[in-house]
């Protein structure tokens, strides 16, 4: 109990320093060793976490190489991207398509008469409630818009946009309305003549009939006359290799050529080429090679020991990590039993050099996949679970990596968990040593305080005796002089 310490008041000794030296001699080395042990464990744990992260990234690259789409994808090129472009599925045939676009599909857009402002009550239908219906010709879609007769131009716009039936069933509006220069604009969301607007207006809310209305010019059937049309609805008209085609939309035209989708942008002519996308597979393999080298390089550094400097990697001597490194190298260099010319990565331009790094000859790979695309694909992604006679390299490696990094059950996560337990154990030991140290500190302080108290008391008694003796000495001198 430090607050009771007299700290050498009686003896002149620096008792606080003496106690610290005693405690340091008994506990200092223990705490230093435990602290060093904890630091080393945390360094090793962090190193395993980094290994886990890099192997997880490698697993992602291997997963890409297991996808047939990585090897079977098609690409499209357009001679005039500003005229049209296209996409193609893996099932599309390699071919060429010349598109001559004479007309793009357009939305139907109509306008009311201009009003004085957009916020004043228009007195529609003589101030009485009513409704009108907006129809999309060529479809079975329509919806009602109700008013109470006190709406402004802005209110009518909102009533159209928020009408419960103004929905195609997939969360998309059928019609959009806006106010521009005190004029109500109504337009179909979709292009094409099938989406031409017409109106049923029994209360004459829209039709220009000389009463309180919005001034749309409609015929007796509710069709919009030219005076109120800002843009006429029209279909896209184009030809593909000379064959005339009409569609209601410009985008996502996937029913013209099997497995090919065209996107029209403007009038003009362009040629769309569909061909195998070898670059996609090449890029995926390059990413795998780069990540493999990153993993092996990182593992090598963690296992390394520099004899000149005496510095060791955080996981130097780890048998688990050495086996992992060796197993991974073995798996990417072994052949697969596929009775093919392409049964090993080296056959398609992927080799391990004398320094252990993976090298990729992209030209050799492109030649291989152009020669026998299916055999090259199976070299990577064959899977006995899916009916193949063997497992491809990506399938094997991906399965092995999953065993290493799978959450909770993977070899590396379990390794990290074991380090966390060891760190917790060291923390408990540190706490125990600190508890013992504090108890010993209190005991020593109590003993030194007792010693100081005793010496102080003894000093006090000695001073009293000296004063008494001095007093007695003075009295004897007086008596002697009187005699």
Is 419:48 a contact under the CB 8 Å cutoff? Answer: yes
Distances, alpha carbon 417 to alpha carbons 205, 264, 266, 319, in Å: 74, 57, 61, 18
Residue 246 in domain = yes
Tokens of 210: 């000389």
Averaged pLDDT for residues 59-74: 94
Averaged pLDDT for residues 416-444: 83
Residues 131 and 42 in one domain: no
pTM confidence score: 0.70
pLDDT at 167 over 80: yes
- For 14, which DSSP code? -
Domain termination residue (choose one: 252, 276, 300): 276
Is 62:239 a contact under the CB 8 Å cutoff? Answer: no
Please report the pLDDT score of residue 36 as a whole number.
83
Is 280:70 a contact under the CB 8 Å cutoff? Answer: yes
Residues 143 and 224 in one domain: yes
Residues 163 and 269 in one domain: no
Is 98:271 a contact under the CB 8 Å cutoff? Answer: yes
Nearest to 401 by CA among 45, 54, 56: 56
Tokens of 346: 């080296």
Please report the pLDDT score of residue 7 as a whole number.
55
Q: Report the SS3 class of residue 131.
A: strand
Cα 244 to chain centroid distance, Å, stands at 45
pLDDT at 388 over 70: yes
Residues 165 and 223 in one domain: yes
pLDDT at 481 over 70: no
Residues 223 and 327 in one domain: no
Tokens of 359: 């090298």
Please report the pLDDT score of residue 464 as a whole number.
77
pLDDT at 145 over 90: yes
Residues 167 and 183 in one domain: yes
Instruction: Determine the Cα–Cα distance for residues 379 and 383; give it in Å rounded to an integer.
Output: 10
In this predicted model, what pLDDT tens digit does every residue of 272-300 receive, in sequence order? 999 999 999 999 999 999 999 999 999 99
pLDDT at 5 over 80: no
Is 259:130 a contact under the CB 8 Å cutoff? Answer: no
Residue 460 in domain = no
Cβ neighbors of 300 (< 8 A, separation 6 or more) are 325, 356
In this predicted model, what pLDDT tens digit does every residue of 340-357 receive, in sequence order? 889 999 999 999 999 899
Residue 362 in domain = yes
Higher pLDDT, 465 or 324: 324
Cβ neighbors of 431 (< 8 A, separation 6 or more) are none
Cα 110 to chain centroid distance, Å, stands at 44
Instruction: For residue 202, name the pLDDT band (cuts at 50, 70, 90).
Output: very high
Q: What is the CA radius of gyration of the chain?
A: 45
Please report the pLDDT score of residue 477 as a whole number.
53
Please report the pLDDT score of residue 99 as a whole number.
98
Please report the pLDDT score of residue 10 as a whole number.
47
Please report the pLDDT score of residue 11 as a whole number.
52
In this predicted model, what pLDDT tens digit does every residue of 293-316 receive, in sequence order? 999 999 999 998 887 787 888 888
Residues 201 and 302 in one domain: no
Tokens of 282: 């090449």
Residue 281 in domain = yes
Residues 174 and 259 in one domain: no
Share of the chain above pLDDT 70, in %: 94
Q: 84-88 and 183-188: which strand pairing?
A: unpaired
**Paired strand residues for 272:** 78, 97
Query: Which residue, chain included where needed, has tokens 């976490």?
Result: 49
Instruction: For residue 1, name the pLDDT band (cuts at 50, 70, 90).
Output: very low
Averaged pLDDT for residues 433-447: 77
3-state helix, strand, coil in the chain (%, to 5): 50, 20, 30
pLDDT at 15 over 80: no
Instruction: For residue 132, name the pLDDT band (cuts at 50, 70, 90).
Output: very high
Residues 295 and 412 in one domain: yes
The full 3-state SS of 326-376, as one line of letters, equals HHHHHHHHCCCCCCCCCCCHHHHCEEECCCCCEEECHHHHHHHHHHCHHHH
Is 278:369 a contact under the CB 8 Å cutoff? Answer: yes
Instruction: For residue 182, name the pLDDT band (cuts at 50, 70, 90).
Output: very high
Residues 317 and 437 in one domain: yes
* Structural domain for 266, as ranges: 74-104+235-276
Please report the pLDDT score of residue 13 as a whole number.
60
Residues 415 and 282 in one domain: yes
**Which range among 18-22, 53-57, 336-340 has the greatest average pLDDT?**
53-57
| H or E element that contains 433 | helix 411-482
Residues 80 and 57 in one domain: no
Residue 207 in domain = yes
Q: What is the mean pLDDT of the chain?
A: 89
Averaged pLDDT for residues 231-255: 97
Number of domains observed in the structure of the chain? 3
Higher pLDDT, 178 or 483: 178
Residue 463 in domain = no
């Amino acid at each position: 109990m430090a607050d009771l310490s007299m700290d050498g008041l009686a003896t002149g000794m620096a008792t606080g320093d003496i106690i610290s030296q005693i405690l340091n001699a008994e506990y200092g080395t223990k705490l230093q060793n435990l602290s060093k042990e904890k630091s080393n464990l945390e360094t090793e744990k962090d190193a395993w976490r980094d290994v886990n992260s890099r192997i997880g990234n490698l697993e992602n690259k291997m997963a890409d190489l297991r996808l047939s789409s990585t090897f079977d994808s098609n690409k499209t090129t357009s001679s005039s991207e500003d005229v049209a472009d296209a996409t193609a599925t893996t099932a599309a045939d390699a071919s060429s398509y010349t598109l001559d676009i004479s007309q793009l599909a357009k939305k139907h857009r109509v306008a009311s008469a201009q009003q004085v402002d957009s916020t004043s009550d228009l007195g529609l239908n003589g101030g009485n409630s009513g409704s009108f219906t907006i129809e999309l010709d060529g479809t079975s879609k329509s919806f009602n818009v109700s008013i109470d007769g006190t709406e402004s131009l802005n209110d009518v716009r909102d009533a159209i946009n928020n009408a419960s039936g103004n929905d195609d069933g997939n969360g998309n509006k059928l019609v959009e309305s806006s106010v521009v220069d005190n004029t109500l604009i109504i337009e179909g969301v979709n292009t094409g003549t099938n989406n031409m607007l017409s109106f049923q207006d029994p209360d004459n809310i829209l039709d220009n009939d000389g009463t309180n209305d919005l001034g749309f010019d409609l015929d007796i059937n509710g069709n919009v006359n030219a005076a109120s049309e800002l843009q006429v609805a029209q279909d896209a008209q184009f030809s593909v290799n000379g064959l005339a085609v009409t569609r209601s939309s410009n985008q996502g035209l996937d029913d013209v050529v099997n497995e090919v989708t065209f996107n029209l942008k403007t009038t003009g002519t362009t040629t769309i080429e569909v061909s195998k996308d070898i670059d996609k597979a090449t890029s995926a393999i390059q990413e795998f090679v780069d990540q493999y080298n990153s993993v092996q390089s990182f593992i090598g550094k963690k296992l390394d020991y520099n004899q000149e400097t005496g510095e060791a990697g955080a996981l130097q001597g780890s048998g688990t990590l050495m086996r992992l490194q060796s197993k991974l190298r073995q798996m990417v260099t072994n052949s697969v039993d596929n009775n093919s010319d392409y049964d090993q990565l080296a056959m398609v331009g992927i080799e391990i050099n004398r320094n252990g790094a993976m090298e990729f000859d992209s030209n050799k790979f492109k030649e291989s996949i152009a020669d026998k695309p299916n055999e090259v694909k199976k070299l990577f992604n064959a899977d006995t679970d899916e009916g193949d006679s063997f497992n491809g390299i990506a399938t094997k490696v991906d399965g092995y990596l999953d065993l290493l990094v799978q959450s909770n059950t993977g070899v590396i996560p379990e390794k990290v968990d074991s380090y966390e337990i060891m760190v917790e154990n060291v923390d408990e030991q540190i706490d125990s040593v600190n508890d013992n140290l504090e108890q010993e500190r209190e005991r020593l302080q109590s003993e030194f305080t007792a010693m100081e108290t005793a010496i102080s008391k003894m000093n006090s008694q000695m001073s009293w005796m000296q004063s008494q003796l001095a007093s007695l000495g003075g009295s004897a001198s007086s008596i002697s002089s009187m005699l």
